[in-house]
Structure 1
Amino acid sequence: MKVYRSKIDWWLIIIIFVVFCYPIIDGILTKEYLLSLVFAGILFLVFLMFKSIKYKIDGDKLKIWTTKIDIHAIKKIYSTHNPLSSPALSLDRIAVVYNKYDEVLISPKEREDFIAELLKINPNIEVKL
């Protein structure tokens, strides 16, 4: 089984840090400790979510969180910067098209290695980067 982590954009980290740290600091300064605690908890949950975004190639299956995709059903992989919600922490994404109309946007850190691994299993995947 090969595991690939999601690429993370630096600007995303800054936005999340600013959005959540301001209420934490404000809560401490105004002695509203419950506010600080709640936002620190949310920030911790966001961190856990970031750590859990992985793409696993296990045999002939691609696992993305709870979704399992048969690698032999993958038709095409292409580069995209689509901002739609997806299990990707970067806008430097690839779209994986599988079955007849299904598509998922992901952002593996080692993109070339990830695609090469998929091509070893299914050499019929059309790649447009």
Structure 2
Amino acid sequence: MKIYKSKVDWWLIVVILIVFGYPIVEGILSKKYVLSAVFLVLLVLFYFLAKSIQYKIDGENLIIWRTKISIQSIHKVYRTRMPLSSPALSLDRIAIVYNKYDEIFISPKEREEFIKELLKVNPAIEVKN
């Protein structure tokens, strides 16, 4: 089994720190400690959620969180910057088209190695740049 972590954009980290950090600091300065505690807990939860984003190639299957995709059902992989919601922490993504109409966007750090591993299992996958 090979595990690939998600690539993380630096600007996403800055946005998250601002969104969660401002209420934490504001709560401390205004002595509203419950506000700070709530946003601190949310920040920690978001951190662990982000750390859990990984893509596993386990034999004939690609596992993304709880979704299992047969690598044999993948017919196209292409680069995209599509900002739709997906298990990816970067806009530097690849789209995986599988089954008849299914598509998922992911952002593995080692994109080229990841695609090579998919091709080892299913050499019929069409790769577009």
Shorter-chain TM-score bucket reads over 0.9
Tell me the alpha carbon deviations over residues 85-125 of structure 1, each in whole angstroms, 9 at most, x when there is no partner. Answer: 00000000000000000000000000000000000000000
Identity %: 66
**Post-superposition offset of 1:20:** 0.4
Could you tell me which residue of structure 1 aligns to residue 21 of structure 2?
21
Could you tell me which residue of structure 1 aligns to residue 46 of structure 2?
46
Unaligned runs of 5+ in 2: none
Superposition TM-score, scaled by structure 2 size:
0.99
Could you tell me which residue of structure 2 aligns to residue 75 of structure 1?
75
Amino acid at match of 2:37: L
Q: Output the CA distance in 2 between the equivalents of 1:32 and 1:127.
A: 53
Determine whether 1:2 maps to 2:2. Answer: yes
Could you tell me which residue of structure 2 aligns to residue 107 of structure 1?
107
Could you tell me which residue of structure 1 aligns to residue 95 of structure 2?
95
Q: Output the CA distance in 2 between the equivalents of 1:44 and 1:34.
A: 15
Unaligned runs of 5+ in 1: none
Q: Which runs of 4+ in 1 moved over 6 A?
A: none
Amino acid at match of 2:36: S
Superposition TM-score, scaled by structure 1 size:
0.99
SS in 2 for 1:43: helix
Q: Output the CA distance in 2 between the equivalents of 1:45 and 1:112.
A: 30
Could you tell me which residue of structure 2 aligns to residue 128 of structure 1?
128
* Two-structure CA RMSD over aligned residues (Å): 0.4
**Post-superposition offset of 1:8:** 0.4
Q: Output the CA distance in 2 between the equivalents of 1:112 and 1:31.
A: 50
Amino acid at match of 2:41: G
Could you tell me which residue of structure 2 aligns to residue 63 of structure 1?
63
**Post-superposition offset of 1:128:** 0.3
